[in-house]
Amino acid sequence: MTRECLPGAPGLPAGRMDARASAARRRAAALVSDERLLVGPLKGYHHETYAFPLPAGDGSGRQTWWKCRDPRAGLLWFDLRAFASERELVRALQGSITRIPAVIEREEVSLYTFVEGRTLGEVCPPGQPLSARHSGQLGVLFGELVSVRPESVLASAGWVAGGHPAGWKDDSAAFLAQLIDFTDVHIYQRHLPRYHALFRDLGIPGGALDGLREATRALVPRPSALLHGDLHRENFIVDGRDDLWTIDWELAVVGDPLYDLATHLHLMGYPADQESRITGIWRRAVEGARPGSSEGWEADLPVLRAYKRAQSVYTDVIRTALALGELTAEQRLRQLARPVRRIEGALAAARRTLGLTREPSADSVAAAYARWFKDAAPTLTAPAP
């Protein structure tokens, strides 16, 4: 039995809980006989997660792996969300989505089935095509998503604070406009006092999303559907039978089904011929499940992908600043190369969308961050959401 997707640190010795341990870790430790059985925290931005085995409950002596997830305190969300409770959403989707984790309650703690296997990123790294089996299962997922009645899961999981997404009533233009507004107002403008010099030095002008707003008006209406919102390689687990499971539903929304395809293509790094193949699989799946779901896709997919490229710039610029801010100056210098390349790539990909006037380079990106850390004297913790 392998648990390749459990890259966590071992637990502390049983009975010796560190006083500095988080509430999430203490809650998980209370469920196991020996804290050394805990694995985690597992890698993840939105939650602090621990995995551990528990008796199966059927007297067989078998062990079943579960995970306990707590939202990270003070988290800065970079994506619009629809659902108040991921746990209740996952509950509501049982029987509607194939191969999704189950949720149980154990001593007033919600536990998710831990899918044993490897992430799709390990099985099929970026640049490699999906197997025919996994492509087919991805198509099943796309079809199941548009088959779910949004009002039924919204009734179970509840709206996130701030109201429902504008685009859940078959208005693709309103949905994308709300996504753009979220990125502009809640990510860019809200943090501009702190990051103004950094955005300026990276060549990102104010009002950079205005052109994208104009293009949004021409989107074709498509029937709104449940969207996972984050279908990348680390949110798929390949089990021992070579089946694909879909995990981490915290960014699920209700809106234009084409957005799930645009997000998936943006995040997966497919070769060009695989992109075309996956797009065809998506079209057949959503049209078979709900006719009209792919209407106008050829003209509209580039607009949605342009938004994803622009969103990545704002997200990566701020996330990189926060991550580097947790390091000492010496550590930052040693670890700067990889995030600088990521920012350089994001800026290059979104250059036309954001109206950037100069070609980004790794040196200019590194210099912009160096000046910002030197001159801005930033607070090194994220602002409250």
344: which 2 tokens?
């350089």
Residue 261 lies in a domain: no
φ, ψ of residue 272 in degrees (nearest 5): -60, -40
- Indicate whether 238 belongs to any domain: no
Q: How far apart are CA 121 and CA 279, in angstroms?
A: 20
Q: Report the SS3 class of residue 54.
A: strand
Asked whether residue 22 is domain-assigned, the answer is yes
Question: For the segment 172-189, what is each residue's pLDDT rounded down to a tens digit?
Answer: 999 999 999 999 999 999
d(CA 151, CA 223): 13
Among 20, 39, 72, which residue terminates a domain?
72
Is residue 105 in a domain? no
Among 72, 99, 114, which residue terminates a domain? 72
Distances (CA, A) of 37 to 43, 105, 166: 17, 19, 45
Query: Does 251 map to a domain?
Result: no
Quick one: 68 and 184 in the same domain? Answer: no
Whole-number percent of the chain with pLDDT over 70: 87
Residue 228, pLDDT above cutoff 60:
yes
Residue that terminates a domain, selected from 23, 49, 72: 72
Residue 61 amino acid letter: G
Distance CA 29, CA 17 (A): 9
- C-alpha Rg value of the chain to the nearest Å: 22
Q: Is residue 240 in some structural domain?
A: no
Number of domains in the chain: 2
Q: 198 and 65 in one domain?
A: no
3-state secondary structure of 314: helix
Helix (H, G, I), strand (E, B) or coil at 22: coil
CA distance 181 to 174: 10
pLDDT digits (tens, 9 = 90+) for 274-329: 999 999 999 999 999 999 999 999 999 999 999 999 999 999 999 999 989 888 88
Q: Please give the full DSSP string across 68-123, using - where no structure is assigned.
A: EEEEPTT----S---BS-HHHHHHHTTTTSSS---EEEETTEEEEEP--EEEHHHH
pLDDT digits (tens, 9 = 90+) for 25-69: 887 888 887 888 888 887 776 778 888 888 766 566 677 888 887
**Does a structural domain hold residue 192?**
yes
**185 and 63 share a domain?**
no
Q: Which domain holds residue 193?
A: 172-220+295-375
Alpha carbons 116 and 176: distance in angstroms, whole number: 36
Please give the model's pTM, rounded to 2 decimal places: 0.87
Residues 176 and 62 in one domain: no
Kindly state the percentage of the chain with pLDDT values over 90: 59
Helix (H, G, I), strand (E, B) or coil at 348: helix
